[in-house]
Amino acid sequence: MSSNGPVKGAQAQVGINYGRVANNLPSPSTAVSLIKSLGIDRVKIFDADSQVLAALANTSIKVSIMVRNQDIPGIASNASHADSWVAQNVVHHYPATHIATILVGNEILSDTSIKSSTWPALVPAMENIFASLQARNLTAKIKVSTPLASDALSTSYPPSAGAFHSEIATSVIQPLLAFLAKTGSSYHANVYPYFAYAGNSGQISLEYALFGSGSTVVQDGSLGYRDLLDAMVDSTFAAMERLGYGDIPLVISETGWPSAGDSGQVGASVDNAQLYNARLAKKVASSQGTPKRPGVSIPTYIFALFNENEKSGAGTERNFGIFYPSGSRVYDLNLSGKS
C-alpha cells in the first residue's frame, strides 16, 4: 500500500493545502515553519514552485505537487515534455524534499472551457508522468493522481446512488480509475460539506455538516449517516463501485470551512470553521472510516493554510485559512485529533 493511500487500522494524518493566490503571503520558509507549528506531516501545493520545494527540503513533510491544468495537453501529447517536467520539478528536489504524490491538474472536470482541449488528455498525461517516474525507479515512492471536485458526480443522494456524470463516466473516469488501480494510487476527492450545506440549508442541518449530530440523520439501506462528509465520501465510493472499481483507496485532497464571507453567506464563521476542522482532525485520527468503508483511514488535507486575498468569487473563497498572512491564527486549532 502506498504511503499516501488509506491503510486499514493505521492512523491517517491530517495534511494542509498551501495555496498562494494572494499578494501578501509570508515567505515559503515562514510558511513551512507555520506548517510545522500545526504538527502536520503532509502538505499539498498547487504547482511545483522551486522556492516552496526548497523550503520543504530536509523536513519530514510529505509533499504533493501539481501539474498545472494548462500544461496537461503538452505533457499528454509528448513523452519528452513529461520527462522534462519530472526532471525539473521532481528529480531536482527529490529526495531532499519528500515528494510523495504528483497531482495532474486541479478539478479539471469542473471546467467545461477545457472540455475538448484537456479532459481527453488527462489520463494520457498521467501515464506519461508515470512512465517518466518508472524509468527512474520512483513509482514505488511517488504516486500519480488527480483531484476532482464533487461535481464530477451527477447523483450523490442517497450515498448508495452515487454516480459519475454520464458525459465523463466512460470517457474519462473509467480510464482514470483503471490507471489508479494499475499503479496502486488513490482517488483524490475535494469534498466540502460547507458548500453542500450553504446551497441547501433548508434541507441540510448545520449540525449534520459540522459533525454535531448525535444520532443517524440519513438512513441509506442498512447504513446510517451522522455526518455529511461521510455521506459525500460514500457517494464517491458508490460511484467508483458502479464502474467496477470499488476497492480503490480515497484521499480527501481538500476540505474545510470558511471563517467569514459576504453578508447572507450562511454558516461562515470563526466558530464554525474551528469546530469543523477540530472535529475533522479527531475523526481522521480515529481511523473510523465511513459507514461504507469502516475502519479504513482516509488521509485528509484541510483547505487552507492561509486566507488568500486574490481568490475570485464570493467572500468565503478568501477566508478558508487557518492563518492570516501575518502568521497569526484565525482561530486556535489542535490537529493532533486529541482533545
Q: What sign does the CA torsion over 212, 217, 221, 222 have?
A: positive
- C-alpha torsion sign, points 287, 7, 227, 44: positive
Residue 200 backbone phi and psi in degrees, to 5: -150, 45
pLDDT (tens digit per residue) in 248-274: 999 999 999 999 999 989 999 999 999
Q: What pLDDT does residue 8 have? A: 45
Q: Quick one: pLDDT at residue 2?
A: 38
- For 39-73, how does the pLDDT look when each residue is reduced to its tens digit (9 = 90+)? 999 999 999 999 999 999 999 999 999 999 999 99
Residues 101-115: pLDDT tens digits? 999 999 999 999 999
Domain borders along the chain are 14-318
C-alpha distances (whole Å) from 242 to each of 53, 151, 166, 259 are 38, 17, 12, 36
Compute the distance between CA of residue 117 and CA of residue 108 in angstroms, rounded to an integer.
Answer: 11
Q: What is the pLDDT of residue 12?
A: 59
- Cell triple for residue 119? 479532459
**Which CATH number applies to 14-318: 2.40.40.20, 3.40.50.1370, 3.30.420.40, 3.20.20.80?**
3.20.20.80
Q: Are 281 and 337 in contact (CB under 8 A)?
A: yes
- Give strand pairing partners of 218: 225
* Of 53, 54, 28, 32, nearest in space to 41 by CA: 32
Residues in the chain predicted with pLDDT less than 50, given as ranges, are: 1-4, 6-10
pLDDT of residue 3: 40
The residues annotated as belonging to the active site are: 107, 254
Within 13 Å and on the Cβ side, how many CA atoms surround 237?
Answer: 22
Residue 65 has, within 13 A of its CA and on its CB side, a CA count of 25
